A and B are shown apart, each in its own frame.
Chain A
Amino acid sequence: MSDPPRSEAQQRADDMAVFQTELARLEAEGVLRLDAAQQQTLRQHHAALLASFAVRFDIDRDTRAKQMSLGMRVASFLGALALAASVFFLFYQFWGLFDETVQVTILLGAALASLGLTLWIQTRDASGYFSKLAALVAFACFVLNLVMFGQIFNITPTDRALIPWGVLALLLAYACDLRLLLAAGICCVIAWVGTRVGQWGGIYWLNAGERPENFIPVAALLFAVPALFDLRRRSGFAATYRIFGLLCLLLPMLILGHWGAASYLAGFEGFETHNIEAGYQLAGFVASALTIWLGARHQWPEAINTGIIFFVIFLYTKFFNWWWEIMPKYLFFLLLGLSAILILVVLRRLRRVLGSGGEGRP
Chain B
Amino acid sequence: MIKVFAIIVLFLGGLASVVWLQQTNSSDDNLKSLAANSDVIAIGIVEKSFDVVRPEELKPKTEEKSNTIVLPNPQKYLVGKIFRIKVNEILKGKNENETVDYLDVFVPGSFWKKGDPLLIEGQEYVFILKDFKDENGSYSNAAILQTNNKQVAFNSNSYYSILRGEKGIVEIKSDESSVIQKIKRILNKY
State whether these chains interact: no
Which B positions have Cβ atoms within 8 angstroms of A? none
